[in-house]
A and B are shown apart, each in its own frame.
Chain A
């Protein structure tokens, strides 16, 4: 659309579609959240363990092209979450005799290390620069015409619904939702040849699905305590830091927080729409003029932020070590999402696993005897089998053909 001279229209269409997608996602979440939470109350330790295995399994497989790297990152995240005193026996685990590691590694230290230090190093390495081809944007150039509205209305509504459903799945998140809706809209469109050549519904459907999926990903996080993506994993970490325990009881014990979150999301959507349309020229100016000092500023703020958690220098050293590791992992194309997700889910997954086996006196059949956990674990193993068997079959077919 930019090549057609419709950069402004594309920006405003994406802003309006994001708003509608987000709004539909919020409405579905508000009306379905309560019933999902009621159903989640039936969950015991084996069911929780099964859902977490599904979430981690799906994330490690869907995070990137190389599944081995995804699995390695999931396992590394789990190991990071196990550092410190064991919650049952109070034994030191993976501390290497260090007193600083006895209380475990704070989630915030890991996140700041990977997403602040690691990302800065990565951007310096890649010499990332922000460039804008169009120097100035005027508000009246941004608004779409009636014919464009007509073209995008149905795709936006359809993509919002589809995006929400994909977002609810553990491990899926917004990225698979956008790809899926783009493919679906291209298939359903009367003008599929225009996709990739400046079709407004191509921009709108993806933006609507993206926002709707983000709201959808909140549902398993709030009702089951299981984040479906890296972003919701960070929100979960923030809620835990505030003393809240996301799960089926959150809606009963902290209704003000639960409904307040959706009210805030609704307000954010409106504010974002206004900001996306009205402040585009201002944002461009900030990014163009202040981005040169971002690395230094973010570096200082990161140091202050991590130090202020426990007022300990050891947290800063751990953050830097994790940041350096994160930089090399990114350079080697390792997916970071599974690592963050497993750091958050690790403690709950281990406790539900050990509680389940305590209930059954060490008998693993408890995980498969209960219907809900059996179905979820069955789905996980099927997914794994599908992902592993299909490439093997393809290889055999290739060899057979040659």
Chain B
């Protein structure tokens, strides 16, 4: 059987009430796992977490009026209300996601995160090697040799501009310092 989507509905395939009920359930199921739903649920979770953190703060002082907890409390409450509205509203909407490559951004992010975590231990040269070679090979699909060329060119550029000219001090790596 052909899967029920908004396209089938738009084409006029769904004409009977039972088919429409199935279609509605399908829409609800799609949206439940949609990114909009996830983000609005994240906002609800975040606001609850913030409210928990704010509860120990003072709200009002007789001499000074509102104190440190006043505005954060109201902002967290508004965020919670917005999150609830968006979560319930998303059940009625379905927006087509335009993107094609779902895994590539996650690979890019993981490589960037990994290189940042390792930077302090192995130094910027090696952590950037992981990041540059990883992104060029796995995200942009270049060969190892081509990626290595780009990495070396980029390192020369970074060394000349940031290290020599702008005098930025980047971590050289605790691991190497210990060995040397």
Contact = CB atoms under 8 A, between A and B. Distances in A.
Interface of A: 68-69, 71-72, 75-76, 78-79, 82, 86, 88-89, 91, 93-96, 117, 120-122, 124-127, 292-293, 295-297, 299-301, 303-304, 307-308, 311, 313, 316-317, 320, 323-324, 327-329, 331-334, 350, 353-354, 357-358, 360-363
A91 B67 CA distance: 10
A95 B162 CA distance: 32
A96 B95 contact: no
Interface string B79-92: 10011011001000
Contacts of B85: 68
B105 A327 contact: yes
B75 A82 contact: yes
Interface in B46-63: 46, 50, 53-54, 57-58, 60-63
Contacts of A117: 109, 112
Interface string B143-180: 00000001000100010001000001111000000000
Contact of A304 (B105, B132, B168): B168
B45 interface: no
A125 B105 contact: yes
Contacts of A295: 108, 135, 139-140
Given A68-B82, A296-B135, A333-B95, A127 B101 contact: yes
Given A94-B54, A304-B158, A317 B116 contact: yes
A320 B113 contact: yes
Nearest to A295: B135
Interface in B90-106: 95, 97-102, 104-105
A297 B101 CA distance: 20
Contacts of B171: 307, 313
Interface of A is mostly: helix
B154 A297 contact: yes
B156 to A, nearest CB: 12
Contacts of A301: 158
A353 B67 CA distance: 10
Interface of B: 35-36, 38-40, 42-43, 46, 50, 53-54, 57-58, 60-69, 71-72, 75-76, 78-79, 82-83, 85-86, 89, 95, 97-102, 104-105, 108-109, 112-113, 115-116, 119-120, 124, 128, 131-132, 135-136, 139-140, 150, 154, 158, 162, 168-171
Contact of A75 (B40, B62, B79, B120): B79
Contacts of A316: 116, 119
A172 B132 CA distance: 39
A91 B54 CA distance: 11
State the majority secondary structure of interface residues on B.
helix
B65 A300 contact: no
Given A89-B68, A333-B36, A126 B98 contact: yes
B120 to A, nearest CB: 6
A330 to B, nearest CB: 10
Contacts of A361: 63, 65
A153 B38 CA distance: 50
Nearest to A342: B75
A205 B62 CA distance: 56
Contact of A331 (B53, B97, B168): B97
Contacts of A354: 64-67
Top 7 A-B residue pairs of the complex, sorted by shortest distance between their CB atoms: A357-B65, A362-B65, A72-B82, A86-B68, A125-B99, A121-B105, A332-B39
B50 A296 contact: no
Given A69-B86, A72-B79, A320 B68 contact: no
17 contacts: A68-B82, A68-B86, A72-B43, A72-B82, A79-B79, A93-B57, A117-B112, A125-B100, A293-B154, A296-B140, A300-B154, A304-B162, A308-B168, A329-B39, A331-B97, A353-B66, A358-B64
A328 B35 contact: yes
A124 B108 contact: yes
A82 B72 contact: yes
A354 B99 CA distance: 45
A360 B62 CA distance: 11
A124 B104 contact: yes
Contacts of B66: 353-354, 357, 362
Contacts of B50: 79, 94
Contacts of B46: 76
A296 B83 contact: no
Nearest to B167: A308
Contacts of A69: 82, 86
A334 B39 contact: yes
Which interface residue of B40, B98, B99, B101 has the most chain A CB atoms within 10 A? Answer: B99
A332 B35 contact: yes
A96 B46 CA distance: 12
Contacts of B131: 296, 299-300, 303
Contacts of B68: 86, 88-89, 91, 93
Contacts of B38: 328, 332
